[in-house]
Amino acid sequence: MATVVFDGLAWQQAVSPWKSGPNATILLFCVRRKMVGRRVSQLIAGARIRPLRIGSGIPVTDPRVAVPQADNRPSTGQPDPLRGQPDAVRGQPDPLRIWDGVPLRNPAFTGRETMLLTLQRALDRRSKASVLPHALHGLGGVGKTQLAVEFAYRYADRYDVVWWIPAEHQTLVLQSLRDLGRRLGTPETANLQHTAGLVLDQLAHSSLRWLLIYDNANDPDDVANLIPEGGGHVILTSRNQTWSDVWDPIEVDVFDRPESIELVQKRSADVSTADAERLAARLGDLPLALDQAASCQSATGMPVDEYLAELDVRVRQLAPGQQDSYRTTIAALVKLALDRLRAAAPATAELLELFARLGAEPISGGLMRRGRDARVSPALKEALSDQIRLDRAIRQLSRYGLARVDANKRVQVHRLFQLVLHDVLDAEAIERSRTNVHRMLASANPGYPEVEEFWPVHAEIGPHIGPADLVDSELIDARRVVLDQARYLQQIGDLEGARRLGETAVATWSKVENTADLGPDGELTLRASRNLAAVLRLLGFNERARTMIEDAFERLKNSAEFGPDHEYTLDAATELAPNRRVAGEFRDALESDQDTVARYRRLFGAEDPATLAAEGNLAVNLRMLSDFPGAYRIDSDAVDAWQRNVSENDLRLLFAQVNLARDLYGLGRYAEALVLQQRVLSPFREQLGPRHPWVLLAGRTMAVTLRKVGRYAEALAAAEEHYLDTINRYGQEHEHLLAAAMTLANSLRVTGDLARARGLAAEAVDRYLRVFGDDHPLTLAATSNYAIVLRGLGEHDRARALDERTYARMRTVLGDTHAYTLCVISGLANDYAAAGDVPGARRWSDTALTTSRTSRGDRHPYTMACEVNAAVSLLADGDEAAGRALLDRAVAGLTEVLGADHPETVAAGEQRRAECDLEPPPT
Three-state secondary-structure class, residue 135: strand
Give 624-665 as a DSSP string.
Answer: HTT-HHHHHHHHHHHHHHHHHHS-TT-HHHHHHHHHHHHHHH
Same domain, 423 and 504: yes
Beta-bridged to residue 364, according to DSSP, are: 410
Residues 146 and 60 in one domain: yes
**Do 388 and 417 fall within a single domain?**
yes
Same domain membership, residue 219 and residue 309: no
The SS3 assignment for 246 reads: coil
The answer to whether position 56 is within a domain reads: yes
- Inside any domain, residue 12: no
Q: Last residue of some domain: 525, 540, 575? A: 575
3-state secondary structure of 832: helix
Residue 893 belongs to what H/E stretch? helix 880-897
- Rg (alpha carbons) of the chain, rounded to whole number: 34
The whole-angstrom separation of Cα 566 and Cα 587 is 24
CA torsion 535-541-546-548 (nearest 10°) is: -60
Residue 791: CATH number of its domain? 1.25.40.10
**In this structure, what CATH number is given to the domain that contains residue 143?**
3.40.50.300
What's the rounded Cα separation, in Å, for the pair 186 and 203? 10
Q: 170-184 and 192-204 helices cross at what angle (nearest 10)? A: 50
Examine residue 618 and state whether it is found in any structural domain, yes or no: no
Q: How far is CA 857 from the centre of its chain?
A: 45
Q: Which long-range contacts (CB under 8 A, 24 or more apart) does 122-127 make?
A: 122/30, 122/250, 123/233
Phi first, then psi: give them for residue 856, nearest 5 degrees: -100, -30
pLDDT at 283: 84
Total domains in the fold of the chain = 4
CA atoms within 13 A on the CB side of 386: 10
Sheet holding 233-238, edge to edge: 98-100, 161-166, 210-215, 233-238, 134-137
**3-state helix/strand/coil string of 355-375:** CCCCCCCCEEHHHHHHCCCCC
Q: Are 205 and 53 in contact (CB under 8 A)?
A: yes
Task: Compute mean pLDDT per 10 residues along the chain, 923 residues long, and list them.
Answer: 28 28 32 30 30 30 42 41 37 62 84 80 53 42 82 89 90 91 83 86 87 85 82 81 62 78 84 88 84 85 87 85 76 91 94 95 95 95 94 93 89 90 92 96 95 93 96 96 96 91 97 90 96 91 94 96 95 94 91 95 92 93 94 95 90 92 95 94 85 87 96 96 86 84 96 96 93 91 96 96 95 93 96 95 95 94 96 94 95 95 95 93 76
* Domain assignment present for 285: yes
Does 733 fall in a domain? no
Rounded CA-CA distance 33/385 in Å is 53
pLDDT (0 to 100) of residue 704? 96
- pLDDT at position 837 is 95
- Quote the crossing angle between the two packed helices 838-855 and 861-876, to the nearest 10°: 160
854: three-class secondary structure by DSSP: helix
Torsion of CA 199, 204, 207, 211, to 10 degrees: 80
Same structural domain for residues 116 and 227? yes
Q: By C-alpha distance, which of 540, 513, 541 is closest to 525?
A: 513
The answer to whether the beta carbons of residues 331 and 424 sit under 8 Å apart is yes
| Domain final residue pick, 535, 555, 575 | 575
Burial of 861 from C-beta contacts in 10 A (0-12 / 13-18 / 19+): buried
Query: Which helix (H) or strand (E) is 701 found in, with range?
Result: helix 693-708
Strands (E), 91-223: 98-100, 134-137, 161-166, 210-215
Do residue 186 and residue 293 come from a single domain?
A: no
End residue of a domain, out of 232, 251, 270:
251
The DSSP string of 33-84 is TT-----HHHHTTT--SS-----TTSPPPPTTSPPPPP----TT-PPPTTTT
The span from the CA of 867 to the CA of 829, in Å, is 12
474 plus 399 within the same structural domain = yes
Residues 230 and 290 reside in one and the same domain: no
Alpha carbon distance 486, 147 (integer Å): 35
CATH number at residue 424: 1.25.40
**What pLDDT was estimated at residue 244?**
62
Same-domain pairing of 510 and 438: yes
User: Is the C-alpha dihedral spanning 81, 87, 91, 95 positive or negative?
Assistant: positive
509 and 393 in a common domain: yes
Question: Sign of the CA dihedral 87, 88, 93, 96?
Answer: negative
Q: What pLDDT is stored for residue 907 in this prediction?
A: 95
Q: Are residues 165 and 227 in the same domain?
A: yes
Cβ pair 891, 905 in contact under 8 A: yes
Give the domain range for residue 296.
257-339
User: Within a domain: residue 761?
Assistant: no
Distance, CA of 229 to CA of 48 (rounded, Å): 15
Torsion angle (degrees, nearest 10) of CA 364, 370, 376, 382? 80
- Find residue 164's DSSP bridge partners: 213
Residues 123, 151 within the same domain = yes
Q: Which residues contact 671 (CB under 8 A, 6 or more apart)?
A: 709
Is residue 673, in this structure, part of any structural domain at all? no
Indicate whether 855 belongs to any domain: yes
- As a whole number of angstroms, the distance between CA 140 and CA 327 comes to 10
Report how far apart, in Å, the C-alpha atoms of 86 and of each of 90, 120, 126, 387, 852 are.
6, 17, 19, 52, 77
Q: In degrees to the nearest 10, what's the CA dihedral of 137, 142, 148, 150?
A: -160
